A and B are shown apart, each in its own frame.
Chain A
Amino acid sequence: MNIVVCVKQVPDSAAQLTVEGGNISWGEAPLVINPWDEYAVEAALQKAGDLGGNVTVISMGKADETEALKHSLAMGCNEAVLISDPALAGSDNVAAARVLAAAIAKVDDVGLVFFGKQAIDSDTGTLPAQVARVLGWPTLTLVSAIDELSADGIKVERAIEEGRQVVKSRLPAVVSVIKDYGEPRYPSFMGIRKAARATIPVWALGELGIEAPAPVVAWPEVMAPQQREIATELITGGSPAEIAATLADKIMAEKVL
């Protein structure tokens, strides 16, 4: 059984985002693999041996957006595919889920699909469940550990607000992983050399055999959040108890409590 890992290319987290004329810009900041997706790639690479198959990394983006795919190849993924078609510009999550599901269906004998828990640009965290819904497969979100994995099924630990939840599922399934899964490996130099020379196949909608899905979400207006003035005051002098009392008075005076 093979594994697919879906990755997204996003602006570097240190980028200064601005909004001009309704368009979001990150200036000259580099585009990188979504940091959460690195955990998904790590999970896929660790588990590939258990299923005895390859790891294919898939990304959806513009024709030249191969940075995240090459990073994943350099980490050790076997194959990479870019889904790119001008008709996909402005896709929302529902459209992206249909396109990714069609791409996953084109890969032979997929047992598991990995996602990072969310992308740092759109931050919805819903795509893994949406893709699973289109495929008709179970979805296991916010996974912190995979306890058992074989062709018969998967047993995972999910991090939820109340604590940990252990869940079993049949395969194929869609899994989104969180940071607790384990620190992603760095790309190896050998992997870098391979990735830099790789020609990444591009699948357009025609190759997926689908029409461009109509988006259901519209963005009538995009604006930068209003900046708030933050006043900082350092409470000095006196004993720790006196400083704490002064702090408590100020908190009460500001009606924070």
Chain B
Amino acid sequence: MNFGLTEEHRMAQKMVRDFSQKEVAPIIQEYDRKQEMAPFILPRMGELGILGICIPEKYGGQGMDYISLGLACEELEAVDTTLRVVMSVHTGLCSMTIWQWGTEEQKQKFLVPLARGEKVGAGAFTEPGAGSDFSNIQATAKRDGDDYILNGEKMWISLASKADFALVTVRTQKNAAKPSGGLTAFIVDLTTPGVTRGDIHGKLGVRAGSTGWINFQDARVPAANRIGEEGEGFKVTMSAFDNGRYTVAAGATGLIRAALEASTDYANERKAFGRPIGQHQLIQSKIAHMTLNYEAAQLLYLKAGWLKNQGVRNTKETSAAKWFATEKSFEAANEAIQIHGAYGFSDEYNVERYLRNARGAVIYEGSNEIQQLIQASYALGERKDKALRMEMPAYEESV
């Protein structure tokens, strides 16, 4: 067993850290206040290859492994959750799902420009009336010759207004034996007539990011854009979550680290009762918990990444990593505010932004209640991984 990162991992980690610390950290508070996404972020992440980090070279990506993807997400969210959300939806939900489930033609048409950062992708699954209860989504697609006609609305979709393509799961069969069996996934060009979209404002966190809605009204999508077979949409979507959740877990680990670093810096500098507050045991207790949780969260996501590299299903491990890291990132940000006292309550320091950003991840990409159900169902023997028609490929160095 080897717990060390390779030289390649460390160099990739440093590269993403340098980008996010040098180019985004200085401006992120301004955009968070304005509730706008900094316009340079998507093109710059594409240009640097971050958006296609783990996609094989032959599909326009950088050919790094899944652990590198996790390390990149940790570095990005250590600066701001917005950056990691881009990876979750563009890379985790959209690109990696096309890589897993797409035909060669679909990979050439959609995955290559996504991996190169020439196009932006999103994942559109949640609806105004269905999130955790995903198998009961209401948006529909009806076959019409060589096309499908899509109708319905998707809500809380990251990059809805910025993306070129979205992986969209809708209902194609109303009376399937199991509701989840009536779903089908499509890759949709968001400039298609009948597709409208917009941003949602007034969010608690991820304010420098783009979250919105997408409406489909008789939107005609070629059957050639169907990802997987008709009725496989639920499985396709759950595969997407296995990758999206991985990025969320790794990113939340970065948020714990950011809260910890802000707390130790402040605790060494701020004095109370004649000495730095870091010398008071109750402050030390908070910092000790953050340190422990950072280490544990990192181990959980790295194990999931290692399994992905081997081509082993990792739904259970990824779910656990997401549950733990997001819960502990919220806790770490909250304690970081406590350590900062009244200063932590203002946006003079970053920790209040960390808290607002951490809150969403406890809900999205499968709420933490859903993650608990997943863990319990594995433990109780109610759930077992079944082989998929299309498995996520193991990491191959030369591909």
Contacts and interface: CB of A to CB of B under 8 A. Distances in A.
Interface of A: 70-71, 74, 186-190, 192-193, 195-197
Task: Rank and list the top 8 A-B pairs by shortest CB-CB distance, nearest first.
Answer: A189-B62, A196-B8, A192-B11, A196-B7, A189-B49, A186-B15, A187-B15, A189-B64
A188 B16 CA distance: 10
A182 to B, nearest CB: 14
Contacts, number: 41
A196 to B, nearest CB: 4
A190 B49 CA distance: 9
B48 interface: yes
Interface in B159-209: none
B19 interface: yes
B62 A190 contact: yes
A190 B56 CA distance: 11
A44 B6 CA distance: 28
Contacts of B41: none
A172 B7 CA distance: 35
Nearest to B12: A192
Contacts of A197: 8
Looking at chain A's contact residues, the main secondary structure is helix
Given A188-B49, A190-B62, A190-B63, A196 B15 contact: no
B53 interface: yes
A144 B63 CA distance: 36
B18 interface: yes
B48 A193 contact: no
Contact of A189 (B6, B7, B63): B63
A193 B49 contact: no
Interface in B1-17: 6-8, 11-12, 15
A240 B219 CA distance: 63
Contact of A70 (B11, B49, B57, B63): B11
A193 B64 contact: yes
B16 to A, nearest CB: 9
A187 B12 CA distance: 8
B62 A196 contact: no
A187 B11 contact: yes
Contacts of B68: 189
B62 A70 contact: no
Contacts of B6: 196
28 contacts: A70-B7, A70-B11, A71-B11, A74-B11, A186-B15, A186-B19, A187-B15, A188-B48, A188-B62, A189-B12, A189-B15, A189-B49, A189-B53, A189-B62, A189-B64, A189-B68, A190-B49, A190-B57, A190-B63, A192-B11, A192-B15, A193-B8, A193-B63, A193-B64, A195-B11, A196-B6, A196-B7, A197-B8
Contacts of A192: 8, 11-12, 15, 64
Contacts of A190: 49, 57, 62-63
Interface string B107-138: 00000000000000000000000000000000
Contacts of B57: 190
Nearest to A71: B11
B190 to A, nearest CB: 27
A70 B7 CA distance: 10
A195 B15 CA distance: 13
Nearest to A73: B11
A189 B68 CA distance: 10
Nearest to A187: B15
Interface string B18-31: 11000000000000
Contacts of A188: 48-49, 62
B238 to A, nearest CB: 29
Interface in B40-67: 48-49, 53, 57, 62-64
B172 to A, nearest CB: 38
B375 to A, nearest CB: 34
A197 B12 CA distance: 14
B398 to A, nearest CB: 10
Interface string B57-86: 100001110001000000000000000000
Contacts of A189: 12, 15, 49, 53, 62-64, 68
Nearest to B62: A189
A212 to B, nearest CB: 30
Given A193-B63, A193-B64, A186 B11 contact: no
A186 B12 contact: no
A255 to B, nearest CB: 29
A196 B11 contact: yes
Contacts of B8: 192-193, 196-197
Contacts of B12: 189, 192
Given A186-B48, A189-B12, A196-B8, 14 more contacts: A70-B11, A71-B11, A186-B19, A189-B53, A189-B63, A189-B68, A190-B57, A190-B63, A192-B15, A193-B62, A195-B11, A196-B6, A196-B11, A197-B8
A25 B48 CA distance: 35
B52 to A, nearest CB: 9
A70 to B, nearest CB: 7
Nearest to A32: B14
Most chain B Cβ neighbours within 10 Å, of A70, A74, A189: A189
A70 B63 CA distance: 18
A188 B18 CA distance: 12
Contacts of A187: 11, 15
Contacts of A193: 8, 62-64
B7 A186 contact: no
A28 to B, nearest CB: 14
Contacts of A70: 7, 11
A10 B12 CA distance: 20
